[in-house]
Amino acid sequence: MNDLVDLLKKMLTAPGLSGFESPIREIIREAWQPLTDELSVSKIGSLHGFKEGQGVSPRKRVLISAHMDAIGMMVTHIQDGFIRITEIGGIDHRILPGQPVVVHGREDLPGVVVQPPGFLLPDSVSDGPVEMKYLLVDVGLPPEEVLEKVRIGDTVSYAQEPLELTGEALAGHTLDNRVSVAATTLCLEALQNRNHNWDVWAVASAQEEETLGGALTSPFEIRPDIAIVIDVCFAKGPGSSDWQSLPFGEGVGLGYGPNIHPALFDAFEKKAKALEIPYHRDLMPKMSGTDAMAVQIVAEGIPCAVLGIPLRYMHTPVETVSLKDIRRAGRLMAAFIADLDDTTLDKINWEE
Amino acid sequence: MTKNSELTANKGFDIGEQQIELLEKLCNATAVSGDEHEVRQIVLAEIKSFADEIEVDALGNVLAKRFGSGENRVRVMLAAHMDEIGFMIVKKHDDNLFQFERVGGIDERQLPGKAVLVGRDHLAGVIGAKPIHMTTADERMKKIPVDALRIDLGPEIGDKVKPGDRATFATRFKLHGPSILAKALDDRFGVSMLIELLKHPPANIDLLTAFTVQEEVGLRGARVAAYKFNPDMAIAVDSTPAYDLPHWDEEDENVQYNTHLDAGPAIYVMDRATIADRRLVNLFTRAAEAEGIPYQYRQPGGGGTDAGVIHKTRAGIPSISVSVPSRYAHSAIGLARIEDWENTLRLLHAALSRVTPDLLAGERRG
């Protein structure tokens, strides 16, 4: 389809499980290098891209937080050449049997998640779903070679190749949240040709899926005045049709709830309307399930907006997204950032 | 892979790059039972310069003969099924998502979260699953029923897919170390070996190869193929499960493995559908021992092959099955060893070369 698909495919095939982000960080570093003035890596492994504003110093700062880490698995045990696993991030064990994976051992080993036949499982399993602790990974090597190449604690990534579906839809693993990194990249691209008074800090954050470690530490270092957290949100699809899910490919989500500063929600809504970018209010009554949960409470507190890219089948290896929504999110963020000026912060207040 | 370089020299019945390439093509093709078109085309193209007679019969079987030379040739039928398990699209829903039905024995627990290819144009689709965030712990202990699953080909699929179209798992063939990871090794292994035997036939027999249809849904092709060939004896060449995995409780020994990988071709004594003719069991055993080819007896019990209908065709046809052991059949990704495949091909050739009229002259004994 275009550069966006190429960038996404490149990002999707790079490993980068929570806490083990360096392979994906290198890909993002390469993409952001020409778009930023300075790149650095935080102590916890988040990538910080700094793009200086054109306003008068001292400038205000806006942070974009898009987590780059992926869910996956970790080796817990090796038995007769077969590998037992646990999860990193949330995985429904029911989607694992028959999944292609890569075991990141002394070298990358392609393999498959195996549901052993019932007679090798406890009677309690019967013919029901098989919990992760009973599943195995087979890398097709003799047992002694597996022992040589794989250790307890090695990570295991999904290996499903990305698929282009009709209507500018893309399916694959780890679209959560590489699509938001892509949208952030589009935003940085758009800002190359636009004036923006504020400094922009684009952060590809680490460890969202497990500890929110990246989202707690990067804002502390950067001390932004406001933050835009961008992540995937639920799209309507089989098994997910209630109020929590937004229509697929029909606009971005604007998070609404206690993690989000209402004035920032209003500002984004206004901007989306002005640009005729379709959006939906994404209700998050208790918490957003995003980096915003952490960013919001860093230091003395940071006003957050949450942008969502609707995604089907979240946390499966066939997550599905519409490229249209990725572009919309990038465009909306760039327009919002270009508008930030000396008066903006005065409007981010609690004067209802 | 380490083995590949050693395999480049094709010494008659070794598996080399050419054989691997053909198997890759066969495994990546789509041929759900009842729609074997793609594999049939590959088979016909491969065998057209080697077979003496080729026919596509009323059910879609490819029947190909290669005659030997010399007197009193035994007419030996070899059957390998072209079809594979898969899906049929049964309904388009308003949300542009497709309901599907399984074709052949597929455990429903193997379906959620898989990529599929739909129709003759191999359109990419996915079988999604509800996000884990929206499930409860109780729910995750229940299977997701097939009728709750959908195939999603994107919002603008329009009329490009319609009820009746077939689909398979989207798995692409891969080699790793001594292993092959692919879909449909059951029974593209068999198809590949029959092609190889047609290309390099034992001269002492008339080789009657049946590339059969609809094995996975009731052994239908093999029945009419055997009737048509009316052979003196028959061999079903297939792939059989290796359940050679560890028991959850490490103290417990796995004694229901069916077969093991790395142990060579699996010779059948009995399965749910066939009690093999002992003379043929002996033929294969002796051929393996004479040639130093590793072999194993498949554990007697469940399962079945095309032999299940062939041996009861007409007045009865002495039959046996020989299979390549492979793991995870009927799921998205099977796993087998190149060496087991190679040894199965070698054993087939060795056994066929030893077939004489004497073999079947007397009464069946056992």
pLDDT, tens only, B124-170: 999 999 999 999 999 999 999 999 999 999 999 999 999 999 999 99
Together in a domain, A13 and A127: no
CA dist., res. B171 & res. B174, Å (int): 9
pLDDT, tens only, A116-173: 999 999 998 878 999 999 999 999 999 999 999 999 999 999 999 999 999 999 999 9
Question: Is residue B223 within 8 Å of residue B309, measured between CB atoms?
Answer: yes
When CB atoms are compared, the residue of B113, B141, B155 closest to A249 is: B155
Together in a domain, A94 and A82: yes
- Provide, as residue numbers in chain B, all residues whose Cβ is less than 8 Å from the Cβ of A146: none
Query: Is A164 within a domain?
Result: no
- Provide, as residue numbers in chain A, all residues whose Cβ is less than 8 Å from the Cβ of B179: 140-141
pLDDT, tens only, A123-136: 988 789 999 999 99
Asked if the Cβ–Cβ distance from A316 to B243 is below 8 Å, we say no
Bridge partner list, A165: A169
Mean pLDDT across the stretch B175-201? 97
Mean pLDDT across the stretch B92-101? 94
Closest CA of chain A from B116, distance in Å: 10
Percent pLDDT > 70 in chain A is 99
Q: What is the pLDDT of residue A2?
A: 65
Shortest CA distance to A165 belongs to which of A280, A277, A319, A11?
A319
Closest CA of chain B from A240, distance in Å: 6
Mean pLDDT across the stretch A189-193? 96
pLDDT, tens only, A305-322: 999 999 999 999 999 999
Percent pLDDT > 90 in chain A is 95
Asked if the Cβ–Cβ distance from B140 to A160 is below 8 Å, we say no
Q: Which residue out of B36, B215, B216, B342 is catalytically annotated?
A: B215
**Where in the sequence is the domain holding A103, given as residue range(s)?**
72-158
How many domains, chain A?
A: 2
pLDDT, tens only, A229-257: 999 999 999 888 899 999 999 999 999 99
Mean pLDDT across the stretch B211-221? 95
Together in a domain, A208 and A332: yes
Q: Mapped to the 3 state alphabet, what secondary structure does chain A carry? A: CCHHHHHHHHHHCCCCECCCCHHHHHHHHHHHHHHCCEEEECCCCCEEEEECCCCCCCCCEEEEEEECCECEEEEEEEECCEEEEEEECCCCHHHCCCCEEEEECCCEEEEEEECCCHHHCCHHHCCCCCCHHHCEEECCCCHHHHHHHCCCCCEEEECCCCEEECCCEEEECCHHHHHHHHHHHHHHHHHCCCCCCCEEEEEEECCCCCCCHHHHHHHHHHCCCEEEEEEEEEECECCECCCCCECCCCCEEEEECCCCCHHHHHHHHHHHHHHCCCEEEEECCCCCCCCHHHHCCCCCCCCEEEEEEEEECCCCCCEEEEHHHHHHHHHHHHHHHHCCCCCHHHHCCCCC
Q: Which residue has the higher pLDDT, B4 or A263?
A: A263
pLDDT of B189 over the 80 cut: yes
Q: How do beta strands B62-66 and A226-234 pair? A: unpaired
Q: What is the pLDDT of residue A276?
A: 98
CA dist., res. A100 & res. B115, Å (int): 11
Q: Which pTM does this prediction carry?
A: 0.94
Percent pLDDT > 90 in chain B is 92
**CB of A244 within 8 Å of any CB in chain B?**
yes
**CB of A234 within 8 Å of any CB in chain B?**
yes
Mean pLDDT across the stretch B316-324? 98
CB pairs under 8 A between A and B: 207
Paired tokens of A274: 């002005």
Query: Is A167 within a domain?
Result: no
- Please report the domains of chain B, with CATH numbers, ordered by start residue: 3-84+172-360 (3.40.630.10), 86-169 (2.40.30.40)
Bridge partner list, B168: B117
Together in a domain, A219 and A98: no
pLDDT of B11 over the 70 cut: no
CA dist., res. B52 & res. A178, Å (int): 57
pLDDT of B199 over the 70 cut: yes
Q: What is the pLDDT of residue B1?
A: 38
Active site annotation includes B139: no
When CB atoms are compared, the residue of B126, B129, B327 closest to A171 is: B126
Mean pLDDT across the stretch A279-293? 96
Mean pLDDT of chain A: 96
Asked if the Cβ–Cβ distance from B142 to A316 is below 8 Å, we say no
Q: What is the pLDDT of residue B2?
A: 39
Q: What is the ipTM of this complex?
A: 0.94
Q: pLDDT class for B317, splitting at 50, 70, 90?
A: very high
CA dist., res. A36 & res. B224, Å (int): 70
Paired tokens of B262: 């790395």
Q: What is the pLDDT of residue B3?
A: 40
Closest CA of chain A from B34, distance in Å: 24
Together in a domain, A194 and A270: yes
Together in a domain, A16 and A60: yes
Together in a domain, A250 and A321: yes
* CATH code of the domain in which A137 resides: 2.40.30.40
